[in-house]
Amino acid sequence: MKKILIIGMDPHTIDFTNPEIPQGLTAERIEQGTKTTIKALEDNGYNAELFLIETGNDDLSDLANLLQHKKFDGIVIGNGIRGLKTNFILFERIVNVVHTSAPESKIIFNSLPTDTVESVRRWL
């Protein structure tokens, strides 16, 4: 069974007043979408794990440690990180941590939570 890590923002730390965030999005909707995504991955034969980053946290040592001690076939960096200008530097730092700490893992991007399985299949 291929192992997938999904890296996303902790929805309880997101500033939903940020104009970059779609109107009506809530922590609860993000959590439900994440659960649906993980279930879809598991239903398709993948072992999925979630790693959440708190907004404003720039310490990625826990991520680096996880990647150095656990092998993942693919690592999905969610659009909540990639798609916001306010997260640009964080996104860049995450890519470099993944590249350094898990060089064998495929780096995977989805466009929406609903196409994560398709995105994973593209690389694995």
Whether residue 114 has pLDDT greater than 90: no
Instruction: Please give the model's pTM, rounded to 2 decimal places.
Output: 0.93
Whether residue 104 has pLDDT greater than 90: yes
Q: How far apart are CA 118 and CA 124, in angstroms?
A: 10
For residue 114, how many other CB atoms are within 10 A of its CB?
A: 12
Q: What percent of the chain has pLDDT over 90?
A: 83
pLDDT per position as a tens digit, 26-83:
999 999 999 999 999 999 999 999 999 999 888 999 999 999 999 999 999 998 899 8
Q: How far apart are CA 14 and CA 90, in angstroms?
A: 14
Q: What per-residue string of b and e applies to 1-27 under the rule 16 or more CB within 10 Å gives b? A: ebbbbbbbbbbeebeeeeeebeeeeee
Rounded mean pLDDT, 1-17 = 95
What pLDDT is attached to residue 37? 94
Residue linked to tokens 């439900």: 32
